[in-house]
Chains A and B, each alone.
Chain A
Amino acid sequence: MEPRHSYRVLARVDAFVNRIYTAKYNPLYHSGAITVGMLAVLLVTGIYLLLFYRLGAPYDSVERIAQQAWGGSWIRGLHRFASDAAVIAAAIHAFRMYAQRRSWGPRALAWVSGVLLFGIILVSGWTGYILVWDTHAQVLATEGARLVDALPVFSEPISRSFTGDQALPNAFFFVTLFAHIALPLSIGVLLWVHVARVSRPILLPSRPVLWTLIAALTAVAVVWPLPMAPAADLLRIPGEIPVDWFFSFWLPITSALPAPAVWVGGALLLVAALGIPALTRPKPAALPAPATVNERTCTGCEQCVHDCPYDAIEMVARTDGREGFVARVKTELCTSCGVCIGSCPPMAIGPLGLTARDQLAEVRSFLASVQPGPNDVVIVGCAWSAARVAAEQHGAKLLTVPCIGAMHTSTVELLLRGGAGGVIVAGCPEHDGRTREGVTWTDARLFDGRKAELKQRVDTRRVRLVQANISEHAQLHAAVIAFASEIDALHHADGEQVDVIALCKRHEANSPATNGRLMEDRLQNGGASDNASRIPNVAGDVS
């Protein structure tokens, strides 16, 4: 699946932010978790503010809070700024999911619940601003009442509560406060639904990101305290008032339109947002197939269950007469990300046409056509990484895979045994993976022995994992140049000209019964891989 234009825009922004914060701490990669983190900050600061809020004197009590030099002032500011940060982070998170094509199929539940969560955050914020009962609250309340009165819901127009012929009753602020507390509680339930279909959901950003953000917002709240707008006066049309644009962005639009038009426009917007999963779903012919399991070769090791980012694989009792368990894919939850492909030592799982055996067949075809030499670097990358551009810039050979997380380590081994001097695996940055943990698992499989691990017989000096998004081709290009010179040095040092032969010798020692003739041929030919017929069949012996 090719990246859409919005992803290229996102990747450019990510690349820029990566240069400032590094990919590890890029806040854009943690946008969803930052939203939850900010909601936690809102909860804590909100409890403090609740202790001092008085229903009978809303404005006066908030003013007293704002005058508390050592507590209330900055806590109120942090409460406000954290809510703003939550809105920004949620909007970024939604855009990321859309741009990365992560909004349809089994992920539709997360998208729809996310839209509802975003709406609840906005409405909850709206009630919070009403509670202050300053001029900002007055404008929000009267405009909200005007819109609600257009609906045939209440027998008496609620706008009549704001005409100024009598003071607002405490009950109004009680109901508003109740909504301000109850709505965030519903966020907890929806958040559970939101992450129900992912394994190991990350609900909070890494501590450095979270605490840096909290510290920065607190510092601003202390250094630049929030002002108190004048108290609401229903018999006065407010002049210029300070408005929080993250929650009141709709005011200039709705106030210029008749209420029915606002409702129609809002309903269309909501339908469009909820309809994104249907609108972005690929056409049936382009729909990727869910993963399937070859029960005959599945050993029941459960690694695919551990690695699946979407909790879409379970273990069930075998039905072929053998004892034990076998993996089964819950197709309704499978996003066809392919991470299970790389997790399976016996290559027993994966979407049809994209299994590890298919990958190896493609590698053989690649080797036959490209015929990489001992000084050549082969880049293995997906269409969403910088691999293509970097390969063109450097003249490196490029092998395209659907996702790095779906790459089986035997692919790398086969490329090296097929004559390539080195292999660069080019994936997305770790926290930006479209397949969530795909890059993380690939790193562990290549270098840390996670199943399906890169075999010890492979010289890992000739393998490099580079994380760079589609806009970071310069970084990948630099990595390719550096790696190529390392490979060149390896090639010339210690008779490294025969490094591939050494590899083969080690392999032969480990598997004396396999490919012995091919090894001797290779030795006789000085390790050069100029003949595709000498490419060993890794699929047969790697397990």
Chain B
Amino acid sequence: MILVTALLTLGIAAAARAPYTPAGHEQAWLRFSWRLTISAKEHCRPRTQDELDALPVHMRTPEVCTPDTATYALLTRIDDQPVETKHLARGGVKGDRPLFVLEERALPPGKHHIRVAVERRDDGDDHLIAELDTTLVLERGRVQLITLSPDGRRLEAHSTQSR
């Protein structure tokens, strides 16, 4: 009885510290992470008389506004791979909240040429918001963090100091 009790409790203690290796430890990681606050933009025009007449009296506002239809994209090119474009959606049900970016790429450890850009796209009128073109040495099991500068004009590669 004592032996069985000892074995059972040792089994509990062993299972409480059994080894586990999370996926991705063998690779190096690029992590794009930032929050982009976009000022609300609306395109407004005066209502025509016909439009006003068609509305109930209490809804006859002088202007009709449509929200900004611009979209945003994250473009990444690593070494000689083709450019990868990811559409970025603004937060919130109405799409009127800040834009959050949290993307991760697993890469082999070593030196890599990284080109990253954020673009605003508005009916074919592409506008570069921020970009980064740099060469980084990535370590196995470490994360290289790339964030947006506080003024929102450039992308920065952080040092890999632990946090």
Which residues of A come within 8 Å of B, CB atoms?
20-21, 77, 80-81, 84-85, 88, 139, 155-157, 159-160, 163-167, 212, 216-217, 219-221, 224, 226-227, 233-246, 248, 251-252, 255-256
Contacts and interface: CB of A to CB of B under 8 A. Distances in A.
B46 interface: no
A81 B14 CA distance: 10
B142 A85 contact: no
B24 A165 contact: no
A164 B163 contact: yes
Given A163-B145, A212-B5, A243-B18, 18 more contacts: A80-B16, A81-B9, A81-B12, A88-B12, A164-B145, A165-B33, A216-B5, A216-B8, A221-B13, A224-B13, A234-B143, A236-B141, A237-B22, A237-B141, A238-B25, A241-B22, A243-B19, A255-B23
Contacts of A255: 22-23
B15 A244 contact: yes
Interface string B18-51: 1111111101010101110000000000000000
A248 B20 contact: yes
Given A21-B1, A157-B102, A245 B145 contact: no
Interface stretch (B56-64, B77-85, B122-130, B154-162): B154-162
Contacts of B160: 235
B65 interface: no
Nearest to B20: A243
A85 B34 CA distance: 43
Contacts of A235: 142-143, 145, 160-163
Given A220-B9, A233-B162, A235-B162, A160 B35 contact: yes
B20 A251 contact: yes
A167 B102 CA distance: 17
17 contacts: A81-B9, A81-B16, A139-B22, A155-B97, A160-B102, A226-B16, A227-B17, A233-B163, A235-B145, A237-B27, A237-B141, A238-B22, A241-B20, A242-B19, A244-B16, A245-B16, A246-B16
Contacts of A239: 21, 25, 141
Contacts of A139: 20, 22
Contacts of B4: 20
A107 B3 CA distance: 37
7 closest residue pairs by CB, A with B: A163-B33, A243-B20, A242-B17, A216-B9, A233-B162, A235-B143, A244-B16
Contacts of B23: 255-256
The DSSP consensus for interface residues of chain B is mixed
A259 to B, nearest CB: 13
B22 to A, nearest CB: 5
A251 B145 CA distance: 25
Given A139-B22, A160-B33, A245-B18, A165 B145 contact: yes
Given A233-B162, A237-B143, A241-B20, A217 B12 contact: yes
A84 B17 contact: no
A85 B141 contact: no
Contact of A220 (B10, B20, B31, B34): B10
Contacts of B76: none
A236 B19 contact: no
B147 to A, nearest CB: 5
Contacts of B25: 237-239
A256 B20 CA distance: 14
B31 A81 contact: no
Contacts of A81: 9, 12-13, 16
A482 B22 CA distance: 60
Interface of B: 1, 4-6, 8-10, 12-13, 15-25, 27, 29, 31, 33-35, 91-92, 97-98, 100, 102, 141-143, 145, 147, 158, 160-163
Nearest to A256: B23
Given A155-B91, A163-B33, A217-B12, A244 B17 contact: yes
B68 to A, nearest CB: 19
A159 B104 CA distance: 12
Nearest to A159: B102
Contacts of B1: 20-21
Given A20-B1, A84-B12, A217-B9, A240 B100 contact: no
Contacts of B162: 233, 235-236
Nearest to B147: A165
B118 to A, nearest CB: 16
A84 B16 CA distance: 7
A164 B142 CA distance: 11
A227 B16 CA distance: 10
A166 B161 CA distance: 11
B136 to A, nearest CB: 13
A483 to B, nearest CB: 28
A224 B15 CA distance: 13
A223 B25 CA distance: 32
A379 to B, nearest CB: 30
Contacts of A219: 6, 9
Contacts of B98: 156
Contacts of A20: 1, 4
A243 B92 CA distance: 36
A158 B141 CA distance: 23
A157 B100 contact: yes
Contacts of B17: 226-227, 242-244
Contacts of B20: 139, 240-243, 248, 251-252
A265 B30 CA distance: 30
A237 B143 CA distance: 7
Contacts of B147: 165
A217 B97 CA distance: 51
Nearest to A22: B1
Contacts of A216: 5-6, 8-9
B153 to A, nearest CB: 17
Contact of B10 (A224, A246, A252): A224
Given A163-B33, A165-B147, A224-B10, A241 B15 contact: no
A241 B19 contact: yes
Contacts of B13: 77, 81, 220-221, 224
Contacts of B8: 216
